[in-house]
């Protein structure tokens, strides 16, 4: 399962510092910086009013930050939570559909802390195009959300994909996205990144498909697989999940993880955090309180 171009010692160091890539990384904290509003695809489980559920909890809106404000927030958070080792960009849209803001933020962070671990989450559509820039910015941790590798399934999840100045629909849209995700996955692993793959488990749509999907991810050399349950909660305003799709039960989620676990190491501790999450996993710091606090220097 190990990435092709990452030496075992380098991989172990990357794994140990990131709370999402290993349980030993739980002593460290992460901060998500909401700097990326736009998206280049549409997922049926996203209504664009809320944060990207590629990586983060849908139904929660983050206040967008400029790259400079993101760096300021990081400095403040690091003072308050010194264990903050990982800075992730995960939304509220797709970070790579907002390359300017994402790269400017990553560079601003690296300038104030050259030891920080930089992490990006993406739907993968623009990954091949942006990979060199991400590497140059120092990104070593990457998450790609891949919900399926079959375009017949994909066309039920993605109503459209915007690629090469064209809005694609139906099977063509799904196939384009899947091809680009797998190309990006392969290139990122070859370049030495530690790659996690997220899959949103949607009953009746892709739950019967996790086994072949995980097999393919293992073949490519992805490091860990994070199967996340679809969150479908009408109390989040207009958010109803995939055309009214229900959430998977705990048993269905466990079964999917068990099936996928035959080929891929499974992450079972994902908190489906907000795009502006701060702190150790499960011990989130309230960012609005922190930013309004007058006792801390900015």
Residues found near ligand SF4 in the complex (CB under 6 A): 20, 30, 39, 41-43, 46, 52-56, 93-94, 123, 226, 270-273, 281
Looking at the Cβ atoms of 42 and 232, the one nearer to ligand SF4 is 42
- For ligand SF4, which is the closer residue by CB, 53 or 259? 53
Question: Smaller CB distance to ligand SF4: residue 226 or 259?
Answer: 226
Q: In the complex, what is the shortest distance from the CB of residue 10 to ligand SF4, in angstroms, rounded to a whole number? A: 21
- In angstroms, rounded to a whole number, what is the distance separating the alpha carbons of residues 271 and 142? 17
Please name the residue that has the structure tokens 């990122």: 188
Q: Shortest distance, CB of residue 294 to ligand SF4, whole angstroms?
A: 29
Q: 124: Cβ–Cβ under 8 A, 6 or more apart, which residues?
A: 144, 145, 146, 177, 180, 181, 184, 185
Residue whose beta carbon is closest to ligand SF4:
46
Token digits for 64? Answer: 């967008």
By beta-carbon proximity to ligand SF4, the closer residue of 19 and 221 is 19
Q: How far is the CB of 197 from ligand SF4 (least distance, A)?
A: 11
Smaller CB separation from ligand SF4, 41 or 294:
41
Long-range CB contact pairs, 178-182, < 8 A, 24+: 178/146, 178/148, 178/149, 178/150, 178/151, 178/154, 180/124, 180/125, 180/126, 180/127, 180/128, 181/123, 181/124, 181/125, 181/127, 181/144, 181/146, 182/146, 182/149, 182/216, 182/220
DSSP 8-state secondary structure symbol assigned to residue 226: E
Minimum distance of ligand SF4 from residue 22's CB (angstroms): 11
As measured in angstroms, the least distance from the Cβ of 36 to ligand SF4 is: 9
């Amino acid at each position: 399962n190990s990435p092709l171009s990452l030496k075992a010692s380098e991989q172990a160091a990357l794994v140990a510092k990131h709370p999402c890539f290993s349980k030993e990384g739980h002593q460290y904290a992460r901060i998500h910086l909401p700097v990326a509003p736009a998206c280049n695809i549409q997922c049926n489980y996203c209504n664009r009013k809320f944060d990207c559920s590629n990586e983060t909890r849908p139904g929660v809106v983050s206040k967008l930050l400029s790259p400079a404000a993101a760096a300021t927030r990081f400095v403040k958070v690091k003072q308050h939570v010194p264990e903050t080792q990982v800075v992730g960009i995960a939304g509220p849209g797709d970070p790579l559909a907002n390359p300017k803001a994402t790269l400017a933020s990553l560079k601003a962070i690296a300038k104030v802390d050259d030891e920080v671990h930089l992490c990006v989450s993406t739907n993968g559509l623009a990954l091949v195009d942006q990979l060199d820039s991400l590497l140059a910015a120092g990104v070593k941790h990457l998450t790609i959300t891949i919900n399926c590798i079959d375009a017949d399934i994909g066309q039920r999840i993605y109503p459209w994909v915007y690629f090469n100045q064209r809005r694609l629909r139906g099977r063509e849209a799904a196939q384009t996205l899947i091809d680009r995700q797998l190309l990006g996955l392969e290139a990122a692993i070859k370049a030495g990144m530690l790659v996690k793959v997220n899959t949103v488990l949607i009953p009746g749509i892709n739950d019967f498909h996790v086994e072949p999907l995980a097999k393919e991810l293992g073949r490519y050399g992805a490091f860990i697989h994070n199967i996340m349950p679809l969150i479908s909660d009408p109390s989040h305003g207009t958010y109803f999940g995939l055309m009214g799709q229900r959430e998977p039960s705990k048993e269905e989620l466990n079964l999917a993880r068990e099936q996928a676990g035959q080929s891929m190491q499974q992450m079972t501790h994902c908190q489906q955090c907000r795009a502006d999450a701060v702190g150790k996993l499960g011990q989130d710091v309230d960012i609005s309180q922190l930013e309004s606090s007058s006792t801390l220097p900015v």
